A and B are shown apart, each in its own frame.
Chain A
Amino acid sequence: MSKSQSHKQSSREQFIDFAKKGKILVNQCLNCKNLSLETAYYCDKCFSKSFKHVSYNGKGKVVTYTIQSVAPKGFEDVNSYAWVVFRIDDCGLNISGFLPGVSSPTDLPLGTPVKVVDYHDKHGLVLEKLEV
């Protein structure tokens, strides 16, 4: 078996694959059903380390955000963008992402629906506003 065939995807790699399809992968504790983001290794309620993956549609509502004017390296190629915290619909977990094309707070009232559209090597979890 070749090295590439034997490579088992890490949980982060699986998260990224799902994000590229517009989904958010979370962990559900097999013991107490508590949901955690996929990077958790232990349940923060019962400390079990047994999870199953559950996939949610990457849609949610904006909880808070900032519009970055001074950007870290790797984001200089983007004209203006927001770093957004949003609550995943039907899940109760918050997650963060990169939303390009936002230059003013009037562009993004709190509660605006957003969705995951991609995972980008340089920009991370890419979002766009969901047209209602």
Chain B
Amino acid sequence: MREKVCVLGAGSTKYGKLNESVIELALNASKDAIESAGITPRDIKAGYISNVFGVADKQVHMAPVIMSNLGIPNVPGLTIESACGSGSVMFREAFANIAAGFYDCVIALGVEKITHTGTTESTTLFSYCSDYFYEGGNGASFAGLFGSMARAYLATHKASEEDLARIAVKNHENGFFNPKAHIRKKITVDEVLNSPVVASPLKLYDCCPFSDGASAVILCNEEFAKKSGRPYIEIIGSGRGASPASVQSRKDITTIPSTIDAVQQAYKMANISPKDVDFAEVHDCFSIAELIDIEDLGFFPKGEGAKAVRESRTTLKGDIPINPSGGLKSKGHPIGATGIGQVVEVFEQFTNKAGERTVKDANIALTHNFGATGASAAVHIFKKVK
């Protein structure tokens, strides 16, 4: 029988262009999560770390370094990489180990430090997360891969570049209220449409920034959570999915199969349907990604996401607020940390720490995070514990 798994504490650095080393970022977020949970490192039985480009800061195999500096060098840790989906894919492994009864309390920490390499180097490094022989090796950046998906979507469904811009505007509106966001700046549709083209049809403001940052959560079983006497939230659904690695290999370039598989598993485990979700943190590496996500996650029928955006149904006060944190677009995207950052947002929303971006009367939340163009994905569903 599966143990119930809870999130007992959460912590995050600011996301942005940061001075600290990758290890310092990791330790800062970890300390905040440990203090948030009201525990000491002695309570942690395993460390789950997600990171993609530790090599850019001359640190791979970082789990033992982090555990040592947390004062628990004899506690096992591992580092998981799944491109931009690293955080949620790792979170699923941490969840599974507590659910299976191996541990009663673990730390799940995602971290990335990349901005010091500069735009060209970062663009190139990220292109290695694609199916490189067919994609990065033929000149595609990640903006380019999603640009090709945007072109296919706009040619197939009733959507326009203005609709994509509206998504970016909404996320900047939300991120403005997030003190940890990389870009806290409101923008307009015109500013998005007039921003420089990065990979057509995507422009600068259609694209998330390169960010540094770290986020961490403490996961535990229900018994541990209840004994702590601290506020906690429950994970009621988890799902994993995979898609053909390259864009060229997908039957339909306007959908991401891994998202659909992952969310259907998560809904089944949680015994809910999309209409029961009160808000969602979804993977909006580019504006087109959010448009595809809200359909693949079942919030709107295929091809009708743009209409929902135009009708403001995904704003903070809409039917289904999407990315109250500001999303990857405004909050930022330190790729190893993002999936965990989404869980931090849910924890803050459910424990009254989200301030002006609080989604009112929310009880069920969903996080969705994928790697590369969706080759890997994980979805988790959370319930507020009253």
Which residues of A pack against B, CB within 8 Å? 12, 37, 39, 63-76, 78, 81, 83, 85, 94-98, 105, 110, 123-125
Q: Choose among A81, A94, A105, A123 the residue that contacts B248 (Cβ–Cβ < 8 A).
A: A94
Assess the B197–A69 pair: CB atoms within 8 A: yes
Check if B139 is an interface residue, CB within 8 A of chain A. Answer: yes
Q: Tell whether, in the assembled complex, residue B199 and residue A85 are in contact, meaning their CB atoms are under 8 Å apart.
A: no
Q: Which residues of B contact A76 (CB under 8 A)?
A: 120
Interface size class of B (residues with CB under 8 A): 35 or more
Given contacts A64-B155, A70-B123, 13 further A-B contacts (CB under 8 A): A66-B144, A66-B201, A69-B197, A69-B200, A83-B144, A83-B145, A83-B148, A85-B248, A96-B246, A96-B247, A97-B138, A98-B139, A125-B138
Which of B120, B124, B151 contacts A65 (CB under 8 A)? B151
Taken together as a complex, chains A and B put the C-alpha atoms of A124 and B137 apart, in Å, by 6
B249 at the binding interface (Cβ < 8 Å): yes
Interface flag for B253 (CB, 8 Å): yes
Q: Is the CB of B134 within 8 A of A95?
A: yes
Contacts of B133 in A (CB 8 A): 12, 39, 124
Give the distance to chain A from B136, nearest Cβ to Cβ, in Å. 6
A65 vs B200: C-alpha distance when bound (angstroms): 9
How many interface contacts (CB-CB < 8 Å) are there between A and B?
106
Q: Which of A66, A78, A94, A95 contacts B200 (CB 8 A)?
A: A66
Partner of A85, one of B121, B196, B253: B253
The interface residues of chain B lying within 8 Å CB-to-CB of A95 are: 134, 248
Chain B residue nearest to A40 (CB atoms) is B249
Contacts A75-B139, A96-B135, A125-B138 known; A66 to B127 CB distance under 8 Å?
Answer: no
Q: Does B152 contact A (CB under 8 A)?
A: yes
Among B120, B135, B151, B198, chain A packs the most CB atoms within 10 A around the CB of: B151
A64 contacts B148, C-beta separation under 8 Å: yes
Q: A12-B133, A66-B145, A96-B248 are in contact. Are A123 and B198 (CB under 8 A)?
A: no
Asked if A67 and B197 make an inter-chain contact with CB atoms under 8 angstroms apart, the answer reads yes
* Set of chain B residues within 8 Å of A65, measured between Cβ atoms: 148, 151
A72 touches B200 (CB 8 A): no
Residues of B within 8 A of A63 (CB): 152, 248, 253
Q: Which 7 A-B pairs have the closest CB atoms?
A: A66-B147, A124-B138, A83-B140, A94-B248, A64-B152, A73-B124, A66-B144
User: With A and B bound together, what is the CA distance between A39 and B198 in angstroms?
Assistant: 30
CA distance A39 to B134 in the complex (A): 10
5 residue pairs of the A-B complex, CB under 8 angstroms, read: A70-B143, A94-B248, A96-B247, A105-B200, A124-B138
Decide: A72 and B199 in contact? CB cutoff 8 A. no
Q: Given A66-B200, A96-B248, A125-B138 in contact, is the A72-B127 Cβ separation under 8 Å?
A: yes
Which residues of chain A have C-beta atoms less than 8 A from B145's C-beta?
Answer: 66, 83
Whether A72 contacts B124 by the Cβ 8 Å rule is: yes
Instruction: Give bound CA distance, A73 to B125, whole Å.
Output: 9
Q: Are A69 and B199 in contact (CB under 8 A)?
A: yes
Q: Determine which of B151, B155, B196, B249 lies in contact with A66 in the assembled complex, contact meaning CB atoms within 8 Å.
A: B151
CB pair A67–B152 under 8 Å, yes or no, is: no
Tell me if A66 and B148 are in contact (CB < 8 A).
yes
Contacts of B149 in A (CB 8 A): 64
User: Closest CB-CB distance, B256 to chain A, in whole Å?
Assistant: 15
- Hey, which chain A residues are within 8 Å of B196, CB to CB? 69
B120 near A94 with CB under 8 A, answer no
A73 to B137, CA, bound (A): 10
